[in-house]
Amino acid sequence: MDTIVYLNGSLLPLSQARLSPADYGLLYGYGVFETMRAYSGHVFRAERHINRLCRSAGFLGIALPDIQELKQALSDVLRANELSNARIRLTVSGGQGIKVPDLLTSNLPTVLITAQPYRPFPHQRYEQGFSAVVSRIRRNSQSPATSMKSLSYLDSLLARREARLAGVDEAIMLNEQGYVAEASTSNVFLVSGNVLVTPSEESGILPGITREVVLELAASLGLEAATRAVTISELTEADEAFLTNSLIELMPLTRLDGKKIGTGTEGQATQQLLKAYKALVDESPTQ
């Protein structure tokens, strides 16, 4: 069965989907995207993902369809592919423009939605956690592109390649001042005592939707939450640490550059937050 995608208002087989070679997303990385996870046929926090996409697209000067239209399109793609638990990606580019780069000539966006089955990591993987290295790639905390999920994804791809070549799961990226920013595809949290800490938006991060949910859940579990500059030594000396994104939810970070973080296994606060996150998913399947 051919995968069904949404392209510019229509559902069609992937084999029939066509993008223009003059599309600025392809040529210059001019566009944004969101990666989401569907549970039981519903995209978790779909509206928050779309709102973030709209803010980023607005900054870039890319006009988007109505939010409700995009939400409906997400559901349509899931149904068309008969998917229940899925990884779904919404991509928006600036569309076609003239040969000489000029963003003002690109005014009809390309909107593409794809979905595929998603099988989460087994429970044993969460007990073991991820290992990581500190990347040589630095985030630029002064660039507006850092806070957007841009199609210009080269820094993250290079950092991810570093991790793969080192035989680990992730790469931790510092900013130009040497503070912890984020991992190649996830946000970073650490726990010291009763305090949950994550790098602030000023550190040069993409403020993730899962990160946002975790910060909301912290108070209900009696954790004090802080968003601020984080040194690499704080991370390595923390009682526990974890990574977040929409697909992995909360994944313990147990080793960095070959050294254990905390006990080198899933920490208690991480367990509690992950349990609360999963309960929230079960309680609000349509949000």
Confidence band of 106 (pLDDT split at 50, 70, 90): confident
Confidence band of 99 (pLDDT split at 50, 70, 90): confident
Closest by CA position to 31, among listed 108, 103, 94: 94
User: What's the pLDDT score for residue 66?
Assistant: 84
Q: For 11-70, what is each residue's pLDDT tens digit?
A: 999 999 999 999 999 999 999 999 999 999 999 999 999 999 999 999 999 988 888 999
The domain locations on the chain are: 4-117, 123-283
Share of the chain above pLDDT 90, in %: 90
Distance CA 223, CA 221 (A): 6
In this structure, which topology does domain 123-283 adopt according to CATH? D-amino Acid Aminotransferase; Chain A, domain 2 (3.20.10)
Distance CA 256, CA 283 (A): 34
Q: For 54-87, what is each residue's pLDDT tens digit?
A: 999 999 999 888 889 999 999 999 999 999 999 9
**CATH (one of 3.40.50.1820, 3.30.200.20, 3.30.470.10, 3.40.50.300) for 4-117:** 3.30.470.10
